[in-house]
Structure 1
Amino acid sequence: MEQDFLNSLNDQQREAVLYTDGPELVIAGAGSGKTRVLTYKIAHLLQMGYPPYRLLALTFTNKAANEMKERIAALVGTETAQRLWAGTFHSIFSRILRANADRIGYRHDFTIYDASDSLSLIKSIIRELQLDDKTYKPSTVQAIISHAKNALIEPQAYARNRELIEMDTRSKRPLIHEIYRIYRQRCFVSGAMDFDDLLLNTNILFRDHPDVLQHYRDLFAYILVDEYQDTNFAQHLIVSQLGKDHNHICVVGDDAQSIYSFRGANIHNILGLSKEYPGLKIFKLERNYRSTQNIVNTANSLIAKNKEQIPKQVF
């Protein structure tokens, strides 16, 4: 069976799927079949004897997660696919947090606030503090708090950070740190986490409870991550910590497709991987199955102007 699905891969894809000797970065140009590589690699690992519950596969969107699960199910069967730890960063880490919520002072049935819940709470805090909501625009305050959490800056650290305080003062919003402190406190008292807390609190859980971190390090024998160019610091640190002992990590991404810096995505997470993992093996998927040669040539000429990049030539 394995030979059958390997035959449907091109040479670059097949090499990336078969490599399991250490940390791996798959640089995948647009339309080059990166999802196929990720799903086939999971199928290959299962064929090698890895139990499904010991494989962790992380994506960014529910759509991508569902597509991955469907493709894996088609290769290995639905029952096996359902036993994988496969899903979005937020769904996987909320699962870990629910299992260990008491360790960080939460109930196991904590509420998850969506963006509108979060915004409503921020609006009420701004009103309570009698601040001008044109200066302290709630959506702007929400974005600043989100950015701080994704950089793993807690309220106390934010209030001590001279650069952040000076920036807020210049923007005529010197009380951002106080709104952040109250917001975080209110969420905790209400037994609630917002989406960014799912990342921040997982890092706090692992930092303050090394036994919990070790449990998940031992559980996840192989870690696979899609769209790694879009990871923020909080996501990158969790992945690094979980894969630290065995270095069985495969990340797929394209440094030329990083567009979420405004949401905290850090392109250096993918560009700096070879420093973090000295034995990192890089595979490049350069054959585009989606566009004409003229479009690909135009894209290549634009991408070539990037100052920092992992060179590739899509065809």
Structure 2
Amino acid sequence: MSYRESLNEQQLKAVEFKGQHLLVLAGAGTGKTRTIIGRAAYLVEKGAQASKIQILTFTKKAANEIVERVKSNLPKASAQSLNGATFHSWCNQLIIKYPNLFGAANFTVIDPDDQLGIMKMICGNYKEAYSKFRIKPQQLIDIYSYARNTKKNLTESLRDLVYNGKNDKDTDYEISAIKTDVELLLRAYQKKKMELRYLDYDDLLLVVSTQLNSNPEAKSLLAQDLDYLLVDEMPGHESFTVGIANAIY
């Protein structure tokens, strides 16, 4: 079955869109991914180079499935070079390809286990501060990541992740009692990463988005590599969203 046969009128309109930037807003299960698949197939049919189309989504499995479904709608050879990746893996690829441009030369990307190891070391180095609250090292990492991705301050991040969003005087008091020591540990974690020249997964998004927002050379290089960027479920990280949206002309 052709991809066109599975699309409704609005989806087909998005698939055959002639402009530069298009945002599709729709609820879960309404066919956004199917529309992305149709869009990629349509672009290849119209002569776009598959290698210059990048598909981004949250999971490797989803990225692979989208690419395979696009290929199933086209002649065998036409979409073989189509690219699908997660946001983090794509940013990592860019940093590896252009380390100096993204200011990440000689940096190593660490995984969640490495992050936890560093945070445990920090908690051990700052025993007095760590002993003042009951937050495990993994939860400290979660707070650190949550604050960066949502752009919420530490007070609100603690409220959301440790106190389940409670907003009362008792919670305010408890947060104020631990906030200074939590901040000390998080700053020490960030400093240790920089000393060791490590990048965690959140850094990947931040490094790339910062350059795409502020560096014309980064935008130009990316525009040379890609003609189309198809994003399935844009992440909530505002600066990353803006950077990606403005990267491809």
* Same fold, judged at TM 0.5 (above): yes
Count, aligned residues: 233
- Specify which of 198, 210, 214 is matched with residue 216 of structure 2: 210
Equivalent residues in 2 for 1:121-270, closer than 5 Å? 121-130=118-127, 131-133=129-131, 134-151=133-150, 170-207=176-213, 209-228=215-234, 230-243=235-248, 246=249
Shift of 1:40: 1.1
Partner of residue 116, structure 1: 113
Q: Which runs of 5 or more residues in structure 2 are unaligned?
A: 159-171
Equivalent residues in 2 for 1:5-16, closer than 5 Å? 5-16=3-14
Q: Which amino acid aligns with 2:199?
A: M
Q: Which amino acid aligns with 2:141?
A: Q
Structure 1 residues 10 and 163, CA gap change in structure 2 (3 angstroms): closer
Partner of residue 37, structure 2: 39
Partner of residue 99, structure 2: 101
Shift of 1:200: 1.1
Structure 1 residues 41 and 114, CA gap change in structure 2 (3 angstroms): same
C-alpha deviations, 1:246-266, integer Å up to 9, x for none?
3xxxxxxxxxxxxxxxxxxxx
Q: Which amino acid aligns with 1:242?
A: A
Structure 1 residues 83 and 205, CA gap change in structure 2 (3 angstroms): same
- Cα distance between partner residues in 1 of 2:7 and 2:57: 22
Shift of 1:9: 2.7
1:112 touches 1:194 (CA, 8 Å); kept in 2?
A: yes
- Cα distance between partner residues in 1 of 2:2 and 2:213: 44
C-alpha deviations, 1:6-59, integer Å up to 9, x for none?
234333322221122243232334333322211111110112222223222211
Structure 1 residues 8 and 105, CA gap change in structure 2 (3 angstroms): closer
1:106 touches 1:188 (CA, 8 Å); kept in 2?
A: no
Shift of 1:126: 1.6
Partner of residue 161, structure 2: none
Q: Which amino acid aligns with 2:99?
A: A
C-alpha deviations, 1:138-180, integer Å up to 9, x for none?
2332122112332579xxxx8xx99989x89615130334333
Percentage of pairs with the same residue: 29
Partner of residue 162, structure 2: none
- Cα distance between partner residues in 2 of 1:71 and 1:220: 21
1:89 touches 1:235 (CA, 8 Å); kept in 2?
A: no
Q: Which amino acid aligns with 1:149?
A: R
Structure 1 residues 148 and 31, CA gap change in structure 2 (3 angstroms): closer
Structure 1 residues 97 and 83, CA gap change in structure 2 (3 angstroms): same
Structure 1 residues 11 and 220, CA gap change in structure 2 (3 angstroms): same
Higher relative contact order (CA 8 A, sep 6+): 1
Higher deviation after alignment, 98-107 or 87-96: 98-107
RMSD over equivalenced CA pairs, Å = 3.1
Structure 1 residues 163 and 152, CA gap change in structure 2 (3 angstroms): closer
Q: Which amino acid aligns with 1:173?
A: K
Shift of 1:113: 2.0
**SS of structure 2 residue aligned to 1:86:** strand
- Cα distance between partner residues in 1 of 2:119 and 2:2: 54
Q: Which amino acid aligns with 1:235?
A: F
Shift of 1:137: 3.1
Shift of 1:199: 0.4
Q: Which runs of 5 or more residues in structure 1 are unaligned?
A: 247-315
